[in-house]
């Protein structure tokens, strides 16, 4: 196999961004006497969620951002979780609130999302935050979509006029990403597809930039990619692998080993979009603190 695609290194770029954030946090502390703070809530003991939370905590500590983690039992009710959020909403030392999803099935996620003060909604899930994104108004931008755009722009990959195909329509990635890319200042032409799209490969082969965010391992094959296209793989899927100590390995939505022979640029899983998502989250926490400090 001869690799032709260049690797979009999200981890390296995230480290550069984090260095800038750490400097901004230090200056903000000096001028305002305030430490930006992220409060995270984890309900239950989902293994993947615990890893995500731990990574966010470590990043906050590295950047000088205070973090508060609330671990709640899986039996926690919707009302109990809302009460905890209410306490954090009025806590002046907390600037960002993050509830780790997915939540246990008995908790009503839509009520939890709307319970968070939009001024502390650093994940950009609240309907008011989404509305601002839709209308192009100033406000928080969702971590993963913001990270993807930042990754493309920093590497001088042109977006204006480019045809971007987004495979996936989740409220976390697909939908907000399409809205962000379609903004006038970014000016991309966006097609949204999903696993139910007829002749998916017809659409993906039209893409100058192909973003896979469907959550299905190996969905995008090499022959579904236009020669030289930019491929961003958002998917994080566990597939069995007896050779690994943990019994599985992480793969994306793109068949990487074949895609590298067709794509011009490509992200890896892990190490591509994930680090950028956490970097953008911490940027939002600092932004929230700055807005409160002013």
Q: How far is it, in rounded angstroms, from Cα 188 to Cα 156?
A: 14
Q: What is 71-112 written as a DSSP string?
A: EE-TT--HHHHHHHHHHHHT-TT--EEEEPSSPPTTS-HHHH
Sign of the CA dihedral with 257 first, then 258, 261, and 265 last:
negative
Q: What is the CATH number of the domain that holds 83?
A: 3.40.50.10860
Residues 62 and 157 in one domain: no
- Residue at 80 is within a domain: yes
Could you tell me if residue 124 is left (phi over 0), alpha (psi between -120 and 50 degrees) or otherwise beta? left
In CATH, what number is assigned to the domain containing residue 167? 3.40.50.720
- Domain interval for residue 48: 34-117
Residue 258 lies in a domain: yes
Residue whose C-alpha is closest to residue 141's, from 109, 173, 102: 173
Query: How far is it, in rounded angstroms, from Cα 21 to Cα 29?
Result: 12
Question: For the chain, which ranges sit under pLDDT 50?
Answer: 1
Both tokens assigned to 267: 């992200």
Cβ pair 66, 126 in contact under 8 A? no
From the candidates 24, 120, 123, 255, give the one annotated as an active-site residue: 123
Residues 183 and 267 in one domain: yes
* pLDDT score recorded for residue 117: 98
Let me know if 123 is a catalytic residue. Answer: yes
Residue 150 and residue 193 in one domain: yes
One of 18, 24, 56, 268 is an active-site residue; which one?
A: 56
Q: Which of 18, 100, 146, 268 is an active site residue? A: 100
Encoded tokens for 200: 């998916």
Q: What is the pLDDT of residue 294?
A: 63
Q: What is the pLDDT of residue 163?
A: 98
State the pLDDT at residue 3: 62
Position 159 in a domain: yes
100 is catalytic: yes
Asked whether residue 29 is domain-assigned, the answer is no
Residues 91 and 171 in one domain: no
147, 282 in Cβ contact below 8 A? no
Residues 95 and 149 in one domain: no
* Number of domains present in the structure of the chain: 2
Domain-located, residue 1: no
Predicted confidence at residue 38, as pLDDT, reads 98
Half-sphere exposure of 59 (CA within 13 A, CB side): 27
- Residue 97 shares a structural domain with residue 173: no
What is the model's pLDDT at position 1?
Answer: 46
- Is the whole-model pTM more than 0.95? no
* Annotation says 56 is catalytic: yes
148 and 230, same domain (yes or no)? yes
């Amino acid at each position: 196999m001869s690799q032709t695609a260049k690797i979009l290194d999200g981890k390296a770029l995230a480290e550069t961004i984090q260095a800038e954030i750490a400097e901004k946090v230090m200056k903000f502390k000096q001028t305002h006497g305030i430490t930006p703070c992220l409060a995270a809530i984890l309900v239950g003991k989902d293994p993947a969620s615990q890893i995500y939370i731990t990574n966010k905590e470590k990043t906050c500590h590295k950047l000088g951002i205070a973090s508060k983690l609330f671990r709640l039992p899986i039996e926690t009710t919707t009302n109990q979780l809302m009460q905890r959020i209410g306490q954090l909403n009025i806590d002046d030392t907390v600037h960002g609130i993050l509830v780790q999803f997915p939540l246990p099935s008995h908790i009503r996620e839509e009520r939890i999302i709307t319970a968070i003060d939009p001024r502390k909604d650093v994940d950009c899930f609240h309907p008011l935050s989404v509305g601002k994104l839709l209308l192009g108004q100033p406000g928080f931008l969702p971590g993963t979509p913001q990270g993807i755009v930042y990754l493309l722009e920093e590497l001088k990959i042109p977006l204006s006029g480019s045809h971007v195909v987004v495979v996936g329509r989740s409220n976390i990635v697909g939908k907000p990403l399409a809205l962000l890319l379609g903004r006038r200042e970014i000016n991309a032409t966006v097609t949204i597809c999903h696993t139910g799209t007829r002749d998916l490969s017809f659409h993906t082969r039209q893409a100058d930039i192909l973003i896979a965010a469907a959550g299905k391992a190996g969905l995008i094959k090499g022959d579904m990619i236009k020669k030289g296209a930019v491929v961003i793989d958002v998917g994080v899927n566990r597939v069995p692998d007896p050779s690994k100590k943990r019994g599985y390995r992480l793969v994306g939505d793109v068949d990487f080993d074949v895609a590298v022979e067709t794509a011009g640029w490509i992200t890896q899983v892990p190490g591509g979009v994930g680090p950028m998502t956490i970097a953008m989250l911490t940027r939002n926490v600092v932004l929230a603190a700055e807005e409160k400090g002013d």
